[in-house]
Amino acid sequence: MTAFGGTRTTPPRRPESPFSSWSFVGVLLVALVLQLPTSFGRCGEPPLYQSMQLKGTPKSSYLPGEKIFYECKPGYYYSFNYVLKTFCEKNSTWFPVDEACYKKTCPQLGEPLNGEVVYVNGTTTFGSQAHYVCNEGYNLIGVDILYCNVSGNNVEWSDSPPQCEKILCQPPPQIANGEFTNSHKDTFEYNEEVTYRCKPSDGPDEYSLVGESKLVCSGRNQWSPDPPECKVVKCEYPALENGRLASGFGKKFQYKSEVTFECLEGFYLEGSSTIVCGADSTWEPKIPKCIKGFY
HSE of 254, CA atoms in CB hemisphere, 13 A: 10
Which of 236, 252, 271 has the alpha carbon at shortest distance from 260? 271
CATH placement of domain 243-292: 2.10.70.10
The CATH 2.10.70.10 domain(s) of the chain lie at 40-103, 115-166, 168-231, 243-292
- Superfamily, domain 168-231: Complement Module, domain 1 (2.10.70.10)
- Superfamily, domain 115-166: Complement Module, domain 1 (2.10.70.10)
Question: How far is Cα 126 from Cα 157, in angstroms, rounded to an integer?
Answer: 9
Which of 213, 201, 208, 215 has the alpha carbon at shortest distance from 230? 208
CATH placement of domain 40-103: 2.10.70.10
pLDDT of res. 40:
59
Burial label, 24 (beta-carbon count in 10 A; 0-12, 13-18, 19+): exposed
pLDDT of res. 4:
27
Give the pLDDT band of residue 29 (cuts 50, 70, 90): very low
* pTM for the full predicted model: 0.64
Whether the bond into 285 is cis, omega within 30 of 0: yes
Which helix (DSSP H) or strand (DSSP E) does residue 31 occupy?
helix 20-39
Question: How far is Cα 7 from Cα 14, in angstroms, rounded to an integer?
Answer: 22
Tell me the pLDDT tens digit for each residue of 78-132: 987 678 999 999 999 999 999 999 999 999 999 999 999 999 989 999 999 999 9
